[in-house]
């Protein structure tokens, strides 16, 4: 099956991530549960939970990259179509805004949505990669399910634990193994791509992307700047400028934005939005590919010498499930056709994951989770 344009753009990274997932998948032990060579390090429940969450995180990062790339390609197509119609209006002596048609309003909404989708999925990819990196590197962090990219950055800032006088409470153990040990060498090599992310794109591309995503998710919507682009007498459409300093409010943007350059360039990026979204996707994919390489190397080296690292149990601190929620959804129930003796068919790889999770390890009508609560 031929790959689509959006798949091709991130294929080098997704192929490498799939390779890492295959390394982990091949090490699953369907009898003992989870990664087989971890069984001298942790109890079986944590091994199962961490092993499967590692696979989820790797697979999820592949999905996130593909979705971001698709949204970026969609955005360029929408912007090109809007520019074409806007130029037609201007040449006919009409103003492109206001008095938009329903179709134009839908296009504008789709354009804004694709911007947010690219940012959301790229940052989602990094958060999922963070969990995978922490598990593969046996980094001593609490509750890896709640880890995100900031967790990895914090580990690099304090690899040996909080410094004396920092005011931070010392953890039971430092995040990384002691300097000079074989395990620390594996961890340092694993985290190397994170030390200077500017190697994968323009200066500050990653902080800008994360700040823009966070602002779009948690902050009030900023005023959209729409600027006519092209040459005098030869318009080419409208430039939907992205914020130069995304964490600032509208007023702060004009008051505190950098003072160099032309006035409008203090407020919005001069680079085209479609090119910026595609560039962010390419930079994130390049970083993901480098992390996939370092994860594969770390995994194989750890497997060859298991004592070099010890999977920390506090990565999955709570085994018992949280209190249940009582939300049932909306509308009438869906009639699912699963009668007595019905089968649920899954992909063979999913079947192996379920067996390695000891969910299908039935004996006397109970699996191991039920027999050993």
pLDDT in tens, the chain (373 residues): 788 999 999 999 999 999 999 999 999 999 999 999 999 999 999 999 999 999 999 999 999 999 999 999 999 999 999 888 888 888 877 776 667 788 888 998 999 999 999 999 999 999 999 999 999 999 999 999 999 999 999 999 999 987 654 444 444 578 999 999 999 999 999 999 999 999 999 999 999 999 999 999 998 888 777 788 888 878 888 888 898 889 888 888 777 766 555 566 678 888 999 999 999 999 999 999 999 999 999 999 999 999 999 988 989 988 888 899 999 999 999 888 776 766 778 888 998 999 999 987 555 567 888 888 7
Helices 102-136 and 44-91: angle between axes, nearest 10 degrees: 150
Dump pLDDT digits (tens) for 246-269: 988 888 877 776 655 556 667 888
Q: What is the pLDDT of residue 362?
A: 55
In sequence order, what DSSP letters do the residues of 241-306 get, joined into one string? EPBSSTTS-HHHHHHHS--SS-TGGGTB-SS-HHHHHHHHHHHHHHHHHHHHHHHHHHHHHHHHSG
Q: What ranges do the domains of the chain cover? A: 5-219+274-316
Q: What is the pLDDT of residue 173?
A: 74
Q: Which of 287, 65, 310, 82 is nearest to 187 (CA)?
A: 310
Q: At what angle do helices 44-91 and 348-356 cross, to 10 degrees?
A: 140
CA 10 to each of CA 16, 196, 283, 288: distance values in angstroms, whole numbers, following the listed order: 10, 21, 10, 10
Q: What is the pTM of this model?
A: 0.92
């Amino acid at each position: 099956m031929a790959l689509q344009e959006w798949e091709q753009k991130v294929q080098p990274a997704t192929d490498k991530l799939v390779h890492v997932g295959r390394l982990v998948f091949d090490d699953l032990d369907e009898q003992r549960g989870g990664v087989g060579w971890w069984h001298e390090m942790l109890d079986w429940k944590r091994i199962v939970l961490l092993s499967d969450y590692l696979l989820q995180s790797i697979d999820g990062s592949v999905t996130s990259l593909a979705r971001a790339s698709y949204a970026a390609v969609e955005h360029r197509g929408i912007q090109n179509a809007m520019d074409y119609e806007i130029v037609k209006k201007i040449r006919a002596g009409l103003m492109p805004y206001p008095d938009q048609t329903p179709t134009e309003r839908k296009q504008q909404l789709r354009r804004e949505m694709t911007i947010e989708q690219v940012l959301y999925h790229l940052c989602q990819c990094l958060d999922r990669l963070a969990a995978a990196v922490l598990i593969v590197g046996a980094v001593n962090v609490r509750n890896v399910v709640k880890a995100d990219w900031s967790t990895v950055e914090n580990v690099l800032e304090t690899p040996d634990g909080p410094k004396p006088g920092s005011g931070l409470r010392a953890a039971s153990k430092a995040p990384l193994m002691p300097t000079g040990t074989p395990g620390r060498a594996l961890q340092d090599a694993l985290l190397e791509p994170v030390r200077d992310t500017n190697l994968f794109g323009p200066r500050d591309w990653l902080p800008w992307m994360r700040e823009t995503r966070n602002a779009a998710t948690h902050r009030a919507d900023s005023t959209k700047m729409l600027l006519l682009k092209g040459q005098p007498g030869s318009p080419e459409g409208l430039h939907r400028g992205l914020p130069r300093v995304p964490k600032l409010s509208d007023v702060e943007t004009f008051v505190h934005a950098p003072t160099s350059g032309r006035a409008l360039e203090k407020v919005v990026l001069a680079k085209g939005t479609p090119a910026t979204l595609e560039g962010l996707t390419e930079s994130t994919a390049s970083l993901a590919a480098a992390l996939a390489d370092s994860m594969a190397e770390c995994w194989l080296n750890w497997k060859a010498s298991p004592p070099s690292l010890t999977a920390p149990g506090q990565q999955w601190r709570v085994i018992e499930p949280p209190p249940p929620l009582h939300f049932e959804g909306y509308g009438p129930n869906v009639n699912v056709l699963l009668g007595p003796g019905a089968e649920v068919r899954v992909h063979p790889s999913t079947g192996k994951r379920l067996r390695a999770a000891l969910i299908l390890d039935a004996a006397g009508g109970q699996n191991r989770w039920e027999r050993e609560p």
